[in-house]
Each structure stands twice: as C-alpha cells, then as structure tokens.
Amino acid sequence: MIELLGDRPAVRSLRAELLARWSEPHRRYHTRNHLDQVLDALDRLTAADGVAVRLAAWFHDAVYDGRPGSDEERSAQLAQQRLPSCGVPASTVAEVARLVRLTATHDPAGDDLDGQVLCDADLAILASDEPRYAVYASEIRQEYRHVPDDLFRAGRAQVLGRLLSAPRLFRTDEAHARWEQPARANMERELAALAAPQA
C-alpha cells in the first residue's frame, strides 16, 4: 500500500489497520495469506487502473464476518471512509468502492476490465493444485463452522453450481487461459464430494 500511496503517516496507519483486520482470529481463509495471493495474482493480469484495482484488493475483504453481500458493502464503505485521509482523489475512492462491491457477485460487465481483473484475481485460488485447493475448501468450512453440515453442504454446492454454470469463470483472456481448466476440475471434484452420501 505504501508503494501505491506514498510513505506518509496516514498511509502507514491505514496499512496497519488493514493488516490487523486481515489478521482477525476468526478468519481461516480470508486472511493476510489470501490478500497476498490476490495481490500476486494481480501481478499476472493487466488492469487499466492498476492503483484502483490494487487498493480494491486491499479492501475487498477488509470487513469479514461471513455475511456475503454485507461484508463487501461494509468493506466498500470502509474504503470510502479511510482513503480520502490518504490523499486519494474522490474519483479513485469511488472506483475502489465500486470494485470492492463487485466481489460480492464476481460478475463484472463485459467492458469492465478492472472489475474483471479484480474478480479474476480473487478467484485465482480455485485453480490451485489439488492439495492447496483441499486446504482452501477446509478453511472455507471452518469460517462457516457455526453452520450445520447439511446446510453448509447445500449452500456450498449452490455457490459452486452457480460458478460452474457461467460460460467463463475467468473473464480476462490471461486468467481464462491460465486458470479456467484447473479451477473447473477442482470445483467439480468438490461438488461431487458434497453430493456423496455421508458416513
């Protein structure tokens, strides 16, 4: 973040706040490791406004209570509250908030390159090798440990089914070529395991 906004007290303070949020003890998958993975994935993709996209990555799960839709909205509001004090122009603040909100559905418009780039980076974990994907799926389950198994399995299957029904998981050509096939294989394997009879 300092490389994006400069080494100033307000920026250092914001960076510390965000890292503390990403390190909250109730998180299992949506941790600093996930933030690092998204930022690394962004290095492989080409955005129109790289600053806004990378700032959106920092904020996209800054608020995480396991409430889809609400978490993204509150994270966007946090960006709107905090970024102006770091000297970020209003237009960039608005774009960061818009991008953060897109991660609720991962469904950017066809001409929204920056939205596509951020959503593709956020979903890059789906293309991990099989052992890492298994860890990811386990971490997601731990974040929803308050949900009974049967309800979690149904909800998770619905999420995976929605993603798999899309013509493309990854919207940018770069991400599609790199991650589409392994991601679909991983999700189909997880979906089959969710549908299997439980012992």
pTM of the model: 0.92
Task: Quote the domain boundaries for residue 29.
Answer: 2-195
Distance of CA 116 to the CA centre of its chain: 12
Query: Exposed e or buried b for every residue in 124-163, given b needs 16+ CB within 10 A?
Result: bbbbbeeeebeebbebbbebeeeeeeeebbeebbeebeeb
pLDDT given for residue 66 in this prediction: 75
104-112: long-range pairs with CB below 8 Å, 24+:
104/68, 104/69, 104/71, 104/72, 104/73, 106/163, 108/171, 110/171
Encode the chain (199 residues) as per-residue pLDDT tens digits: 778 888 999 999 999 999 999 999 999 999 999 999 999 999 999 988 899 999 999 999 999 987 777 899 999 999 999 999 999 999 999 999 999 999 998 889 889 999 999 999 999 999 999 999 999 999 999 999 889 999 999 999 999 999 999 999 999 999 999 999 999 999 999 999 998 877 6
Q: How high is the pLDDT of residue 199?
A: 60
Structure confidence at residue 51 (pLDDT): 95
Note the pLDDT of residue 119. 96
Domain count, the chain: 1
Spatial distance between the Cα atoms of 57 and 109, rounded to a whole number of angstroms: 18
Query: CATH number for the domain including 138?
Result: 1.10.3210.10
CA distance 139 to 78: 25
